[in-house]
Amino acid sequence: MNTPAKNDRAAWITGPSAKCSVPPKDRDRTWRIVLLGAPGVGKGTQADLLAERLGMCHLSTGDVFRAAASPCNRERTPAMVESLRYMREGRLVPDSTVWEVVRERAGCIHCPGGFLLDGFPRTLPQAHALEELMNSEGITLDGVLDFELPIPEIVARLSGRRVCEKCKAVFHVTQRPPRAQGICDQCGGKLVQREDDRPEAVKLRMEIYERDTAPLIEFYRGLGKLLSIPATGSADEVFARTLAALELAVTDGHLRDRFPHDAIVGLGIRRRQSDELL
């Protein structure tokens, strides 16, 4: 059986001058989702699984900056060169530059295939800018998935993470090892440790997350968009919880913390941050 071609995300990764050779297919339902969660919580893995199942593109701002950092990229603007310095140090790229990158790619936000935003927004000004863009275009978010995990577990995950240089598939030296050491199962590319997964950068990224990104949880809760997903256990378990939460949110018609209690018992979902897991 042929596996379906993956959306190639060319317009997102390269910029608006590129045309996607494999655009997302029309679906019964267009999903527009934002992923939240500390670095290393497994957002990238969940994004790949969700994109494959639901058909939208996985749009990561980190992937855009990493593509710009690649030695083959000779068309870097001065703002992009400056951004890469921030990225290597594990600091956030300034909002104005990130917004320029996203605004240039607004076609991906409008795309009928939908989107899964990963790593954006990451600050309140970015979240406000995205809301404004979407409101002005009459587009609404289906939900914001917030993956929750204790900090020591996150640090262990980050230090063992390896990423394929070529197709960006994510592995872990112990929890999700590739079949052959150092080689990507999917495309045979070389697996590397991201510069920002090194210990000094990880410490800084966690501090920055707490200060700049964690406030987005309350922002999206206030908009009635937040779905908290416990990110403990295997990637498949987290994925099952995520799908169940999305399905309930859609069946219920809205996300404003009103899931019927009986329907979610046993799925490990909580309706409010302070609640026990159901």
**Active-site annotation, residues:** 43, 122, 161, 194, 205
- Does 196 contact ligand AMP by CB under 6 A? yes
- Does 105 contact ligand AMP by CB under 6 A? no
As measured in angstroms, the least distance from the Cβ of 99 to ligand AMP is 9
| Spatial distance between the Cα atoms of 170 and 42, rounded to a whole number of angstroms | 9
- Does 61 contact ligand AMP by CB under 6 A? yes
How many helices and strands (H and E) does the chain possess? 12, 8
When the beta carbons of 82 and 257 are compared against ligand AMP, the nearer one is 82
Stretch that binds ligand AMP, among 27-35, 54-62, 228-236, 242-250 (CB under 6 A): 54-62
As measured in angstroms, the least distance from the Cβ of 194 to ligand AMP is 7
Per-position b or e across 185-210, b if 16+ CB within 10 A of its CB:
eeeebebeebebbeeebbeebbebbe
- Does 12 contact ligand AMP by CB under 6 A? no
Q: Which residues contact 28 (CB under 8 A, 6 or more apart)?
A: none
The single residue among 80, 92, 227, 264 that binds ligand AMP, judged by CB under 6 A, is 92
- Does 197 contact ligand AMP by CB under 6 A? no
When the beta carbons of 31 and 120 are compared against ligand AMP, the nearer one is 120
- Does 48 contact ligand AMP by CB under 6 A? no
When the beta carbons of 142 and 196 are compared against ligand AMP, the nearer one is 196
Q: What long-range pairs does 233-240 form, CB within 8 A, spacing at least 24?
A: 234/175, 235/42, 235/45, 235/46, 235/49, 235/176, 238/42, 238/46, 238/147, 239/46, 239/49, 239/50
- Does 228 contact ligand AMP by CB under 6 A? no
Q: What long-range pairs does 195-198 form, CB within 8 A, spacing at least 24?
A: 195/87, 195/88, 196/39, 196/87, 196/88, 196/90, 197/40, 197/158, 197/159, 197/161
Angle of the 43-54 helix axis to the 235-252 helix axis, nearest 10: 60
The single residue among 12, 115, 120, 239 that binds ligand AMP, judged by CB under 6 A, is 120
Number of residues that bind ligand AMP (CB under 6 A): 18
| Spatial distance between the Cα atoms of 5 and 240, rounded to a whole number of angstroms | 23
Residue with smallest beta-carbon separation from ligand AMP = 62
- Does 40 contact ligand AMP by CB under 6 A? no
- Does 87 contact ligand AMP by CB under 6 A? yes
Q: Write out the residues near ligand AMP by the rule CB under 6 A.
A: 39, 60-62, 65, 86-87, 90-93, 98, 119-120, 122, 126, 196, 205
